[in-house]
Amino acid sequence: MAKILVVDDDSTFCLMLKTFLTRNGHRVTEAFSYKEASDAIQATTYDVVLTDFRLPEKTGMDVLTEAKRKKLETVVIVMTGYGDIRIAVKAIKQGAYDYVTKPVNPEEILATINSAISSTDAKTHEIHTDSFTFIEGKSKYSQELMHYINIVAPTNLSVIIQGDSGTGKEFVARKIHQASKRNGRPFVAIDCGALPRELAASEFFGHIKGSFTSAIADKVGQFEVANGGTLFLDEIGNLPYDVQVNLLRAIQERKIKRIGSSKEIPVDVRIIAASNEDLLNMVNRGTFREDLYHRLNEFTIRVAPLSERKDDLMVYAQWFLKNANREMGKNIQDFSHEVIDTLLQYSWPGNLRELKNAIRRAVLLERSGFITMESLPQDIVPSTLKGKIGKAENLKNIKEKAEQEIILSTLEKVKYNKTKAAKLLKIDRKTLYNKLKQYGIDTE
């Protein structure tokens, strides 16, 4: 069971989602504005925050910032429209766990939440790669990538992994660690983009009790946790300039001090850094330290966007299909020929992460033994086909969603008195019970 905060200015939608998630064993709180969300986050610590991107006052990014400032480990899932994939990618860069596209499917949201909770529960400070699987593509690019991984892994060189968001930079880092002499020691990942400025030093180096206001107990920093292994600094370009100074000193001296302590602690870690921006360009703009850049840039690997490695796309698609089948208890065998053509033609601005989400959604919705065009997200379907695919089914879905929302709203008004609800809806009780069963609405 998780404590979940749902943030959306559509009160009917919030109620629907709250009812559904509560029925599936979670404790859910609603917030209909940024201010309500901010107040709720300050008052309570949530395991998951599910927020719409478009809010009346501010945006889901602001909710994301508030949640991460309160507790770095909070899972934030952003809901966006079909046309907002680039916004979703930006949210991921800033620390969101994942995104879902509207109109949302409650089962899809539940699967994403459960996946997030499982990965968070399994995640400890000391992360090994025994269960990690690296999927090798078959393109010339992928063969070259594996060559670079294999030649740098046995060394102790620091590595910069350059690539767009969602291209799999952490998978490359894990593969380097797995193939290195440090593979029996921890692999520790830090999302620098999600680190609040005031907590960055504490996260890296730790602190002692009482060293600052919220330091209620001693904390071990991630440098100590990763000792003997690999420290992966994701989106390192987001680190504040002053924190970069402390990081450089720790890397050069191989010693750290916990905040509030004068004791030096020796550390032996290999640094792998990743960025979706060109760090050299950031150096030239004065936003990234040149000395830190040169210290990290002992070897560079570029991870190409999915649009440049279409020969690999179906390899990854089949892998995501297999995993989604296992996760959702389904047995979908393959993709239709039309779907394969569509997947290959689409540009994939969100890269592997977008592909994974699209396939998980398709597996969830598909009723046949093959992924069909009707199950694909609409922004992937070519515009020339949108008017031809599943029109009747889409109209049916729209009608059912509207009917479901009206029933939920009415039940809320009458405090779930089904007799009064049936009268307001101008239907008999038997019809109402049938509708409640059809939509899986629990009123008990």
* Residues 311, 244: Cα–Cα separation, whole Å: 38
Q: Is the pLDDT of residue 320 over 60?
A: yes
Residues forming a β-bridge with 381: none
First-to-last alpha carbon distance for the chain, in angstroms, is 19
Pick the range with the lowest mean pLDDT from 17-26, 92-101, 179-188: 92-101
The predicted-structure confidence for 113-122, as pLDDT tens digits, reads as follows 887 776 655 4
Choose which CATH entry (3.90.1720.10, 3.40.50.300, 3.30.360.10, 3.30.1330.80) describes domain 140-304. 3.40.50.300
Strand ranges, E, within 283-354: 299-303, 334-335
Percent of residues in the chain assigned helix, strand, coil, to nearest 5:
50, 15, 35
pLDDT at 228 over 90: yes
**Over 50: is that where the pLDDT of 96 sits?**
yes
**372-395 exposure pattern, b = at least 16 Cβ within 10 A, e = fewer:** bbbbbbebbbeeeeeeebbeeeee
Of these ranges, 123-127, 370-374, 380-384, 427-431, the one predicted with the greatest mean pLDDT is: 370-374
Question: pLDDT digits over 47-84, tens only?
Answer: 999 999 888 888 888 899 888 877 878 899 998 875 56
Chain position carrying tokens 């995501």 = 320
Average pLDDT value for the chain: 84
Average of per-residue pLDDT across 36-54: 90
| pLDDT tops 50 at residue 391 | no
Q: Which residue has the higher pLDDT, 172 or 384?
A: 172
Q: What angle do CA 174, 189, 282 make, to 5 degrees?
A: 100
What is the pLDDT at residue 397?
Answer: 61
- Give the per-residue pLDDT at 123: 42
Confidence (pLDDT) at 208? 87
Is the pLDDT at 376 greater than 70? The verdict is: yes
For 78-87, 102-111, 379-388, which range has the lowest pLDDT when averaged over its residues? 379-388
- What phi, psi does 129 have (nearest 5°)? -115, 25
391-439 shares the fold of 140-304: no
Going by pLDDT thresholds of 50, 70 and 90, the confidence category of residue 126 is very low
Cα–Cα distance, 278 to 94 (Å, whole number): 17
- Give the pLDDT of residue 435: 80
The pLDDT tens digits for 187-210 are 998 888 777 777 788 889 988 888
How much is the average pLDDT of 377-403?
A: 62
Looking at the predicted structure, is the pLDDT value of residue 388 above 70? no
Question: How does DSSP classify residue 369?
Answer: S
Confidence grade of residue 133 (pLDDT, cut at 50, 70, 90): confident
pLDDT of residue 379: 79
Domain ranges of the chain: 3-122, 140-304, 307-386, 391-439
The string of DSSP codes covering 257-290 is: E-BT---EEE---EEEEEESS-HHHHHHHTSS-H
At CA 361, angle to CA 360 and CA 365, rounded to 5?
A: 120
Residue with more model confidence, 216 or 225: 225
pLDDT of residue 129: 40
Range 30-51 burial, b when 16+ CB lie within 10 A, else e: bbbbbebbbebbeeeebbbbbb
Question: Residue 286: pLDDT above 70?
Answer: yes
Neighbouring C-beta atoms of residue 248, cutoff 10 Å:
17
- The first and second tokens of residue 163, run together, are 């690539």
User: Which CATH superfamily does the domain covering 3-122 fall into?
Assistant: Response regulator (3.40.50.2300)
In the CATH scheme, what is the code of domain 391-439?
1.10.10
Beta bridge partners of 233: 190, 273
With respect to CATH, is domain 307-386 assigned 1.10.8.60?
yes
- What average pLDDT does this structure show over 17-25? 87
pLDDT per residue over 343-355, tens digit each?
999 999 889 988 9
